[in-house]
Structure 1
Amino acid sequence: MHRAVPMLALLATFLSVVFSGQAQSAQTDRYCLQGRSWGFPGNCQFATRQQCLAAASGTSAACGLNPRYAASRRR
């Protein structure tokens, strides 16, 4: 039983980090590089449209608004 407590604490910490990271990510990663190789919603690591467009330059990919960011703006 004494081994389960540290494991539960570790799991709780991990989950809180993951979920807080997703909320923060939706705020900072506003644009997604989208194309066949990326799937949906794409590679959503870009804070500005210009950054995304620079990464898409010379490829068949395009840039779109991150759906998580768009959903957070509706609330």
Structure 2
Amino acid sequence: MHKFLLAASCIGAVASCAVLAPSAAQARDYPYCIKGADYGSSVGDCSFDTYQQCQATASGRFDYCDANPFYASKQPIAPPIRRRGRY
């Protein structure tokens, strides 16, 4: 009975971690990333809506902010401006 309860609790813990963990798409839905020595990956921590938020977090540390290379803007892209030729 003890082994059954231990196995059931382990399975429950693993299942809850899998459900509650953010997906890769959710983690990359922000336009700014903090990078530096404190962050192991080349992408860093991309959880900032504004550059100012990122700068405030990086302040006083050997970290810096950069645009998220995987961010897909939700704003529609403006059509290109058509320029007329010279007369």
- Shorter-chain TM-score category? 0.5 to 0.7
Normalising by the residue count of structure 2, what TM-score does the alignment of the two structures yield? 0.48
Superposition pairs for residues 1-75 of structure 1, below 5 Å? 2-3=4-5, 4-20=7-23, 22-27=24-29, 29-35=30-36, 37-38=37-38, 39=40, 40-56=42-58, 61-67=63-69, 69-70=70-71, 73=72
Identity within the alignment, %: 34
Greater RCO between the two (CA within 8 Å, min separation 6)?
1
Structure 2 runs not aligned, ≥5 long = 74-87
**Rg comparison, structure with higher value:** 2
**Alignment CA distance shift 1:8-1:33 (3 Å):** same
Normalising by the residue count of structure 1, what TM-score does the alignment of the two structures yield? 0.53
Greater helix proportion: 1
Structure 1 runs not aligned, ≥5 long = none
Q: How many residues of Structure 1 are paired with residues of Structure 2 in the alignment?
A: 68
